Structure formats: C-alpha cells, structure tokens
C-alpha cells in the first residue's frame, strides 16, 4: 500500500535577490509522521517552513499539501498551521480568545460550539481551567501549550513548528520534548519541526532532513542519521564525534570498508561516500563507541590518558595515541557501569572500535595532516 | 505578509505606495509651492511664473520692499531672537532643576506636582495667554499703587511678559526631555566619581551634567524653536516690540505680499534645520 | 553627622523645589486661579456673580460657536485619524527600511514649520487669486477667479494639516512595538486583512490612537491661528470669542468665564472618552 503524503516539496528554490536561501530542495512527509528539518542558523530551514506556511513564495518548484499544489494559496487558506518561534500569542485576548481565533475566522459554528472545541483543545494540552487567563499571566511552558492548542484546534493537515522549545530552560525543554512527542502520537497529526538542536530532533522525529546552505544533506531516520551519516557535514553536525583530519586512504578492503593512514597509524572505517585510494579523508569516530582497556594489548591502538573529565553518568577521557608521527588525540566516553575499568590520568590504555563506528569522508580542505 | 496571490500582492503594494505619495504631496506640496513663489518675479504672490528674482528678499524700491530691507520685519526678527534666547536659557535651567527634583528627590505630593507640571502643555495657548495676562495685570496694578507708578511696568505686555508667558509651557517640554535622560543615568557613576575623591558637587558637575549634555542641547534647540514660532500665548502678552509671528499674523489678516513668501522660506529653512538637528539628536537618544 | 546630612538633604530638596514651585505656581496655577476668580466677578463692582456664565448659556450665538467649535474639532480629529492610521500602518509595516526613514522625515518636516507658516501656505493656495484658482483657469476648467478661502472646508483642511503629525507619530510608535509574527500568526490561523486589522492591529495600536486623538482634539479646540486665517471673519471659533472679550471688548470677566468653560469642557470630554473606551492614559503614555 502506498504511503499517503501530506507535504511534499518538488525542486523548490528560493532566492532573495542574489542570495540563494533554499537550493533545489525536495522531500516528502508521510501522513502522521514527525518530520524534523535540522540545520544550523542561516541554513535555510526557516525559509522552507515559511514557504510551506505560505509566508514566502518559492522562486521555482512546487509545494503540495494534502496532494494539492499550494504555491498560489495564501497562508490563511492553507490547511497547515504554525507554532511560531516566539509563539506570537495575541496579548490583546485571553487564552480562550487565542484558541478560538481560528475557529471564529472559519465561521459557521455557534459560539458555544467554538468554546467547547477550544476547551477540549486546552484540555488535551493540559491547560484545563485557564481559559480566562491573560497571556502575560501564564508561565512560559503554559504559553507553549496555548500556542499548540491554538493551532491544533483547527485540526490542520500539517502542524509546522518553528523551534518553539528554544526559548525554554533546559529542564522544561526536556519535559516539553516528551510531551510534544506523545501529543503527536496521540493525535496522529503530521508535524514538521525545524530546529538547530540535534538532541531535540533525534529524540522526537520519525524522519530528519539535515539541511545546510540551502541544500538537503541527508533525509533519514534518527538512528540511520546517527550511525550512517551520508555527508561530511552530517557527520560533524549530528552528535558528538572525534574528527581525525587529513588521513590518506591506503586501500579498500571491500565495497564498504577502507583503511586510512594517519601518520603511520592505520585505521579502518566505513566509507560514507564513494572514495578511492589516494584520497585525503577525515575519519569520524563516536566517543561512546570506543572501547578502552587498561594496559597494552595486541589489537587496537595504544595510548596514554591525558585527562579525565567526570560528568555524572559517564566520564570523558582524553587519550593521546602513542604511535604515529603526529600527535593524535581521541576522546572516549566511558559509561560508569559496574564493568567500567578504573583508570587515572597518565595510565597506558588500548583503544579499539568496530569498523562501522568510524565513518570516512573526503576532506573538504584536501590537506593532509 | 499580506494574504494574496502574487498579482494581488503587487497591486496592493502599489496602492500603498500611491497612498504614501498622496500623503507626501499633501504634507510637502504646499511648502514647495511657497518656496517657488518666493523667487517668482510676480508681485501678486501667485502664478504664473514670471522669472526668477531675489527682490522679495533684498530690494528697497518704493513698490518692492524685500524682507531684509523691511525695518519693521527686521526689528521683529531681533526681538524674536532676544525673546527666544531668554526663554531658552530660563527653560533649560528650569528643566535641569526639575529633572533633578523629579528623578532624584522624594517628597510628599511629587506625583501631584508632576501632573500639575504637565498642565501648560494641555491648556490651550489662548487660555494660558489670557490667564497670565489677567494675573500679571493685577500684580502690575498692585505694584504700581504700592511702590509708585512704573514699578509694575515689566509685568505689562512687552518683552518680559512674553518671556514669562513662553517659559510657562516651554519649561515643561525641556523638563520632559532632560528628565528622560536623567532617568537613564546610572547612579553608580556618580558614586564612583566620589569614590575617586570628587566632592558631591564636582561629581554632579563633571559626570552627571556631562551625561545630560546631549539632552540639554536638544532641549535648548526645541525651546528656541517653540519660542520662535509661538503665536497663541505671545499674541496676548506682546507689547510695542512684537515678534515675527505677531507681525506676520497682523499682515496676513490684511493681505498677502510676496515678501511673506520670502519670510516663510527663511523661517522654514531655519526652523527646518533646527528641527532636523533636534530630531537627529532624539534619534541618537533613542539608540543610546 | 547624621543630623547634618539629613539637614543638608532637606536643604537640597528645598533648593530644587523653589524654582519649580515659583514657575508652576506663578506662571500656571495662580494665573488660572485668577482666571477662575475673575469669571465669577462683576465687571464693574467686582462682586460675586454668575452673570458671566449666564451670558454664555443664555446667548444662542456663544452656545452655537461653542457647539460648532466642538463639532468641528471632533470631525477633524476623526478625519485626521482616518488619514493618519493607514499612513502609519504603511510606514511601519509595509515600507522597507530606507523608504520608511524617508517617509518619516517627509512627515516630520512640516511639523517644524510654524503653524502660522502652515496656514499661510494654504492661503497662498486657496485665496481668490491663489495657486488653485490659477491652476483651474490654466486647465480651462473655469474662466474666473474662485475664492476657496473662508469656507468651513478650508478650516478643516488647515486643521487636518497641522494635526497630521500629532496623530501619526503616536500611532507609529505603538505599531512599531507590534511583533510582525503576530500578524503572520493571525493569517496562519485563517484571518484575512480586515479581521487581522480588527482583532490584532487596531487593538494593539489603541493606546497610540487614543493619545493621538486626544492631542489632536485638544489642539483643534484651542486652535486660533489656523481657524482665524483660513476661516476669516466667519471662523466663529470659541478661542476667538475669548480673544474678543479680552482684547476687543476689554471684558476680562466674560473672557475668563469663556476660558474656564473651554478648559472644563475639554478636560471633562477627554475624561469621558477615556471612560467609554476603557483606556488608561497613563498606560498609553
């Protein structure tokens, strides 16, 4: 059975004068999914969202919502609603006034019916009984929920979220993150969420599109994105990584695995993109995928612990590799489990990792270390 | 930003531009026409254009008196400047004094006094002028009978009464401008100056008043302008040496001569430049 | 030590208070008390009388002038609002940065030109041998001079012109604080131009509209120059009645009563309007 698609962008480009903000972007958002667009500030993600909402018109390409081409449909006629970055709640109305605003515009409904729907929406986001409060009388977290209720009450095909959690403090953000995910699962509404915060994107999304300089770098599930980044940018942007720069690709073991020479040390890794011998490559290794054994061992890379940074559930251990012509520093994330080895600064250790914990990409600078 | 398809969007955008253009024609058009007419060699002070001339500024033939050769007009300019300088000085000093009073001091009835101080801005100029006239008339009579004839003369219509009458409302404006800046002054700067060995008065002089400098300058320009242009209040208080607006008004009631165009241009240029200086200063203030 | 600083502080307060009290007392409070007292005095004997007020309420001429002044002030205030609001909206929300600065300068410039010159420019345009009359003949629309001065509509044009800035600036200030995303949110939720105007933009600008309207109304009510120059002998403005009593008829007491009536009325009127529209002026300022 083919999946139903709620939003699709087909070769969409947006220029502001000479500046190409969005460059030939295409993607599809399946019905009922939580879709995130992840990118650094200035990557064009906001422009993509604003084009879906209808506040910007694509320079070329088409946008479809619920199968209908909406390029020429104004924002007030599109069946998608937006939760704004700074929420944009109307201070001249109370909470209920905000939530019924869209229903009142739509008309054809009694006042009592509108209020019933609005109260139901407020209940759904856990704000029952606050309908008569002024916007400046409720907390930041409650404001987030009002903004959600205000859009959800209209039962949109797609809900667009412009990084609304960004303004909250860390603890509240963690709570809201889970709540938002549960709400989405419960309602089955398609969410398109843009953010520069990869922890939020990884935790909430079914699918993530990573965007950089107006171009889509990769569209994948969070796990795929994390384990098998498709580009150099994704590898450095998503999650923590050790980035070993300027190695020379010596040979390919098979279609997937290559061996890279870093000043005399040979490391193997997954090829993130097609590479050939002689290429200058950077190798990305996840700190938590590295195993650390005290003492010197046959398989693996010998090193000396430079410093240990305690961080509660784990420690970040900085290790200098012993062999090789140039100094190489690798961070290792060590979980504090019962089996975790006891180590101290200055200890000799051996590091090892599976080949697929390391991803190799062509170095953008091309300079060998 | 406006919900419309592209073609509608550009149409409404053009309508907006057209509206703004219309407003600009309305606000600037008359001023432009007066400026053109000031250089038109047509004694009827109207169109058609009969060539360029500077006669309405400088000429002393019997049928054409330029403004610089018009003794009464020039005398009015002198007395206007005299009044404006006096009003500016007094109003700025009062403004600084009031700012310190309302920002730094605490006393019973402060709120009430502040509201009262805003009064002269709200009361129509005609009422302000007449009430000051009536009041000063009574005082002058009392002074005359108590101290002999002539003792109350300075409170009769004339230079000093005009100055006092204008100070009544100009000082409110200077107070508002200077107060706004003093409110933003960080008191710890004054404390730091004293900590470094300055006396209290030296700290106020070298730190606080210098901080107030731009506001005092701006307030002075505004005070000068308000005084120079005032008609309503001045009309009732003016004596044998009228200011420019008073002369202009009395002439306008009898008819229009091209010389008045020239006076207008001169006033527009001076007040326009001063006004621009004042708004530029205020803009800077807004950013600071 | 403690006592002396307290003493010095008290001294400083009085030193600052004295000039302020002299200014506001001698140049504002006492003159208005004098005006108030004069209005209740007989012109010759100085005895208490209500005759000056009775003269106003019994004379249909004065009453009519007063009603006329008020009506015209309200009409011109509303007219100014209808012209200024779209201008303020376009300047703050439609124009780009450069155009905005340009439009602002163009609107502020006439404000620095004295009201007298402003009225004069309209005389130049509207009088019988004026620019407008010339233009109409030049275009062949008419073949003789037409007097546009000394009509009610001339007064309205002049008043709107002098008031425009006092209305536009407060509205611009209040619209400037309106976050654009609020307007976008209203569109996003299905609002159109008019509903967004009605429910978001105008409520947000209400304090600015209020301040502007009150200022313009008071300015119109107390106007003298524009109305007498553009309305001529037929201007029939209440401030002219005050002037006539004081200067032409030397009847201070009658003029004082008129002044008190004008003041009381304008304050009452503004207070009632604020009550009706449930606006708080202190909030708006």
| CATH number for the domain harbouring residue A268 | 2.40.50.140
Mutant choice from B131, B170, B277 vs C, greatest count of C C-beta within 10 A: B131
Do C23 and B119 count as a contact with CB atoms less than 8 A apart? no
Nearest CA in chain A to C180: A88
Assess if CATH 1.10.10.10 describes domain B71-255: no
Per the CB < 8 A criterion, the answer to whether C112 and B272 are in contact is yes
Q: A268 and A225, same structural domain?
A: no
Query: What's the rounded mean pLDDT across residues A202-224?
Result: 94
Give the CATH number, domain containing residue A30. 3.40.50.300
Task: List, in sequence order, every residue forming a beta bridge with A303; answer none if it has no partner.
Answer: A321, A349
Residue bearing the bigger pLDDT, B70 or B133: B133
| H helices, E strands: number in chain B | 11, 2
Q: A202 and A294, same structural domain?
A: no
Write out the residue range of the structural domain in which residue A257 sits.
240-362
- Residue B282: which pLDDT band, with cuts at 50, 70 and 90? low
Per the CB < 8 A criterion, the answer to whether A80 and A52 are in contact is yes
Q: A282 and A196, same structural domain?
A: no
Q: Which residues of B touch C90 (CB under 8 A)?
A: 16, 19-20
Domain boundary among A232, A259, A274: A232
Which of A55, A57, A76 is the closest to B6 by Cβ? A57
Domain boundary among A205, A232, A259: A232
Q: A249 and A181, same structural domain?
A: no
The CA dihedral of C158, C163, C165, C171, to the nearest 10 degrees, is -140
- The Cα B112–Cα B104 span in angstroms is 16
Could you report the per-residue pLDDT of B29-52, keeping only the tens digit for each? 888 888 888 888 888 777 778 888
Nearest CA in chain B to A74: B3
Q: Quote the minimal CA–CA distance from A121 to chain C in Å.
A: 15
Question: Residue A63: in which H helix or E strand, if any?
Answer: strand A60-65
Amino acid B287: pLDDT: 38
Boundaries of every domain in chain B: 71-255
Edge-to-edge strand list for the sheet holding A215-220 = A80-83, A158-162, A190-195, A34-38, A207-212, A215-220
Query: A57 — contact with chain B (CB < 8 Å)?
Result: yes
Domain boundary among A202, A232, A262: A232
The answer to whether residue B6 scores a pLDDT higher than 60 is: no
Largest CA distance in chain C: 89
Query: What's the rounded mean pLDDT across residues B89-110?
Result: 93
Which of A74, A92, A154 is the closest to C189 by Cβ? A154
- The Cα C272–Cα A258 span in angstroms is 84
Q: Quote the minimal CA–CA distance from B14 to chain A in Å.
A: 19
Could you report the per-residue pLDDT of B72-83, keeping only the tens digit for each? 888 999 999 999
Amino acid B3: pLDDT: 40
Query: C192 — contact with chain A (CB < 8 Å)?
Result: yes
The number of folded domains in chain A is 2
The interface residues of chain B toward chain A in range 3-42, judged by CB-CB distance below 8 A, are: 3-6
Edge-to-edge strand list for the sheet holding A5-16 = A19-30, A5-16, A60-65, A68-69
Amino acid B100: pLDDT: 92
Residue A77 falls within a domain, yes or no? Answer: yes
**HSE, side-chain direction, 13 A CA sphere, residue A40:** 8
Q: A190 and A88, same structural domain?
A: yes
- The Cα C189–Cα C166 span in angstroms is 35
Which of A53, A76, A90 is the closest to C190 by Cβ? A76
Positions in chain C whose pLDDT score sits under 70 = 1-7, 278-285
What average pLDDT is seen over chain B?
84
Amino acid C1: pLDDT: 43
Amino acid C112: pLDDT: 76
Amino acid C246: pLDDT: 85
Amino acid A271: pLDDT: 92
The answer to whether residue A293 scores a pLDDT higher than 70 is: yes
- Residue B7: which pLDDT band, with cuts at 50, 70 and 90? low
Amino acid B48: pLDDT: 79
Residue A53 falls within a domain, yes or no? Answer: yes
Which of C182, C191, C199 is the closest to A88 by Cβ? C182
The answer to whether residue B5 scores a pLDDT higher than 60 is: no
- Residue B285: which pLDDT band, with cuts at 50, 70 and 90? low
User: CATH assignment of C60-284?
Assistant: 1.10.3720.10
Place of tokens 């008071």: C218
- The Cα A74–Cα A70 span in angstroms is 8
Q: A227 and A249, same structural domain?
A: no
Give percent of chain B above pLDDT 90.
25
Amino acid A115: pLDDT: 92
Could you report the per-residue pLDDT of B140-199, keeping only the tens digit for each? 988 888 887 777 888 888 899 999 999 999 999 999 999 988 988 888 888 887 777 777
Amino acid B30: pLDDT: 87
Residue A68 falls within a domain, yes or no? Answer: yes
Amino acid A336: pLDDT: 83
Query: What's the rounded mean pLDDT across residues A84-107?
Result: 89
- The Cα C285–Cα C271 span in angstroms is 15
Q: A75 and A198, same structural domain?
A: yes
Cis peptide bond upstream of C250, omega within 30 = no
The candidate with the shortest Cα–Cα distance to B232, out of A29, C220, A125, A367, is C220
Residue A300 falls within a domain, yes or no? Answer: yes
The candidate with the shortest Cα–Cα distance to C143, out of C133, C157, C132, is C133
Residue bearing the bigger pLDDT, C157 or B54: C157
Q: Which residues of B touch A77 (CB under 8 A)?
A: 3
Per the CB < 8 A criterion, the answer to whether A110 and A104 are in contact is no
Do C191 and A76 count as a contact with CB atoms less than 8 A apart? yes
Return phi, psi of residue A82, to 5°: -125, 140
Q: A269 and A163, same structural domain?
A: no
- Residue B1: which pLDDT band, with cuts at 50, 70 and 90? very low
Do C112 and B235 count as a contact with CB atoms less than 8 A apart? no
Residue A66 falls within a domain, yes or no? Answer: yes
Amino acid C2: pLDDT: 53
Do A76 and C184 count as a contact with CB atoms less than 8 A apart? no
């Amino acid at each position: 059975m083919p999946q139903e698609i709620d939003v699709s962008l087909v070769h969409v480009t947006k220029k502001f004068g000479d500046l190409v903000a969005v460059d030939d972007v295409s993607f599809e958002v399946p019905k009922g999914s939580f879709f995130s667009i992840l990118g650094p500030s200035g990557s064009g993600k906001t422009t993509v969202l604003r084009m879906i909402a209808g506040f910007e018109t694509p320079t070329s390409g088409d946008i479809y919502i619920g199968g209908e081409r909406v390029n020429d449909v104004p924002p007030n006629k599109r069946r998608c609603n937006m939760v704004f970055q700074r929420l944009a709640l109307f201070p001249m109305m109370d909470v209920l006034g905000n939530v019924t605003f869209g229903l009142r515009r739509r008309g054809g409904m009694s006042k009592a019916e509108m209020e019933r729907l609005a109260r139901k929406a407020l209940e759904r986001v856990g704000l029952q009984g606050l309908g008569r409060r002024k916007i400046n009388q409720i907390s930041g977290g409650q404001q987030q929920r009002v903004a959600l209720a205000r859009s959800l009450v209209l039962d949109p095909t797609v809900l667009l979220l412009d990084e609304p959690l960004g303004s909250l403090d860390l603890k509240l953000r963690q709570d809201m993150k889970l709540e938002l995910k549960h709400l989405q699962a419960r309602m089955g509404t398609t969410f398109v969420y843009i953010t520069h915060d990869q922890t939020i994107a990884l935790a909430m999304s079914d699918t993530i599109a990573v965007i950089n300089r107006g171009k889509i770098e990769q569209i994948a599930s969070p796990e795929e994105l994390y384990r098998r980044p498709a580009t150099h940018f994704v590898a450095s942007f998503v999650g923590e990584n050790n980035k070993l720069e300027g190695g020379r690709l010596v040979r390919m073991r098979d279609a997937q695995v290559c061996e890279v020479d870093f000043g005399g040390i040979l490391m193997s890794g997954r090829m993130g993109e097609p590479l050939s011998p002689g290429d200058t490559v950077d190798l990305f290794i996840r700190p938590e995928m590295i195993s650390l054994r005290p003492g010197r061992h046959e398989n693996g890379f010998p090193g000396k612990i430079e410093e240990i940074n305690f961080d509660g559930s784990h420690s970040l251990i900085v290790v200098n590799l012993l062999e090789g012509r140039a100094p190489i520093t690798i961070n290792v994330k060590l979980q504090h489990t019962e089996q975790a080895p006891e180590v101290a600064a200055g200890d000799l250790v051996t590091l090892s990792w599976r080949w697929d914990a390391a991803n190799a990409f062509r170095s953008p600078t091309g300079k060998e270390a | 930003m406006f919900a419309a398809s592209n073609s509608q969007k550009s149409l409404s955008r053009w309508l907006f531009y057209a509206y703004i253009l219309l407003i600009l024609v309305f606000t600037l058009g008359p001023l432009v026409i007066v400026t053109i007419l000031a250089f038109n060699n047509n004694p009827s002070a109207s169109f058609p254009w009969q060539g360029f001339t500077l006669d309405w500024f400088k000429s002393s033939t019997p049928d054409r008196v330029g403004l610089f050769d018009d003794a009464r007009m020039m005398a009015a300019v002198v007395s206007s400047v005299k009044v404006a300088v006096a009003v500016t000085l007094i109003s700025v000093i009062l403004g600084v004094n009031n700012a310190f009073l309302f920002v730094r001091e605490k006393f019973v009835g402060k709120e009430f006094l502040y509201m009262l101080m805003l009064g002269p801005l709200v009361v129509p100029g005609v009422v302000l002028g007449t009430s000051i006239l009536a009041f000063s008339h009574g005082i002058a009579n009392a002074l005359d009978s108590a101290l002999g004839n002539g003792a109350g003369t300075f409170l009769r219509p004339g230079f000093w009464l005009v100055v006092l009458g204008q100070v009544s409302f100009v000082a409110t404006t200077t107070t508002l401008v200077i107060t706004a800046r003093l409110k933003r002054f960080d008191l710890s700067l004054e404390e730091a100056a004293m900590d470094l060995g300055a006396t209290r008065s030296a700290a106020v002089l070298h730190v606080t008043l210098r901080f107030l400098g731009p506001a005092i300058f701006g307030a002075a320009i505004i005070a000068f302008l308000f005084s120079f242009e005032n008609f309503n209040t001045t009309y009732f208080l003016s004596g044998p040496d009228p200011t420019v607006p008073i002369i202009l008004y009395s002439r306008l009631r009898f008819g229009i001569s091209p010389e008045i165009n020239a006076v207008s241009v001169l006033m527009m240029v001076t007040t326009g430049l001063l006004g621009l200086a004042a708004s530029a200063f205020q803009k800077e203030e807004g950013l600071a | 030590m403690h006592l002396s600083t307290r003493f010095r502080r008290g001294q400083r307060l009085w030193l600052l208070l004295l000039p302020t009290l002299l200014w506001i007392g001698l140049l504002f409070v006492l003159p208005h008390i004098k005006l108030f007292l004069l209005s209740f005095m007989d012109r010759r004997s100085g005895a208490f009388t209500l005759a000056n007020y009775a003269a106003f309420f019994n004379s249909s001429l004065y009453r009519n002038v007063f009603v006329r002044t008020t009506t015209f002030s309200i009409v011109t205030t509303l007219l100014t609002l209808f012209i200024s609001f779209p201008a303020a909206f376009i300047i703050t929300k439609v124009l780009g940065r450069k155009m905005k600065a340009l439009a602002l300068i163009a609107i502020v410039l006439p404000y620095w030109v004295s009201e007298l010159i402003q009225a004069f420019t309209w005389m130049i345009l509207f009088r019988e041998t004026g620019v407008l009359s010339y233009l109409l003949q030049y275009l062949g629309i008419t073949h003789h001079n037409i007097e546009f001065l000394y009509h009610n509509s001339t007064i309205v044009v002049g008043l709107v012109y002098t008031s425009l800035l006092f209305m536009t600036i407060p509205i611009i200030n209040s619209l400037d604080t309106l976050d654009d995303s609020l307007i976008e949110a209203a569109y996003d939720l299905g609002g159109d131009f008019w509903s967004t105007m009605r429910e978001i933009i105008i409520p947000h600008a209400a304090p600015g509209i209020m301040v502007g309207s009150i200022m313009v109304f008071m300015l119109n009510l107390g106007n003298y120059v524009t109305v007498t120059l553009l309305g001529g002998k037929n201007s029939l403005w209440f401030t002219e009645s005050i002037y006539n009593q004081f200067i032409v008829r030397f009847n201070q007491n009658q003029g004082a009563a008129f002044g008190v009536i004008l003041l009381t009325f304008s304050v009452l009127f503004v207070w009632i309007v604020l009550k009706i529209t449930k606006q708080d002026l202190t909030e708006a300022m």
